[in-house]
Amino acid sequence: MQTIHATPSLTTRFAYGTRVLRQDSGLAEDQMRQVAPSIFATGKHASRSERYSYIPTIEVLRGLQKENFRPVMVAQGASRVAGKADYTKHLIRLRHGEPNRRDEAQEIILINRCYGG
């Protein structure tokens, strides 16, 4: 049986100049808020329709933290629309446990991007 090692890629892209913060020991909420305030948005942007269901990213993150996943990286894209900076695309990379002897670790990559309206 042949083992194929491919470089994983995300199905989303962030533009040059995206704010990113990484820390292997884990990030505190105040650190994440400085780089990715959209993680903490309390509601949907006014441009979203009534059909749009809003799920706060921070609630999902806190639920994963209860399962011993810790955020080790956050990123937030810039918004080209005035007033949408706190509602823009963001990414959180979470790690469960420590890397093993082969530098492998269980991770979740959470990407939140608002589509449509």
CA dist 64 and 38 (Å) reads 18
Which residue shows structure tokens 């903490």? 40
Provide the 8-state DSSP code for 40.
Answer: G
Is there a domain that residue 7 lies in?
no
CA dist 88 and 105 (Å) reads 28
* pTM as predicted: 0.78
85 — phi, psi (to 5°)? -60, -35
CB atoms within 10 A of CB 88: 20
- Total structural domains in the chain? 1
Is there a domain that residue 12 lies in?
no
* pLDDT digits 0-9 by tens, 70-97: 999 999 988 777 766 677 889 999 999 7
- Domain membership of residue 38 as a residue range: 20-112
Is there a domain that residue 5 lies in?
no
Is there a domain that residue 15 lies in?
no
Say whether pLDDT at 117 is over 60.
no
* pLDDT digits 0-9 by tens, 14-26: 766 688 999 989 9
Is there a domain that residue 11 lies in?
no
For position 112, what pLDDT does the model report? 86
Residue 54 vs residue 29, higher pLDDT: 29
For position 22, what pLDDT does the model report? 93
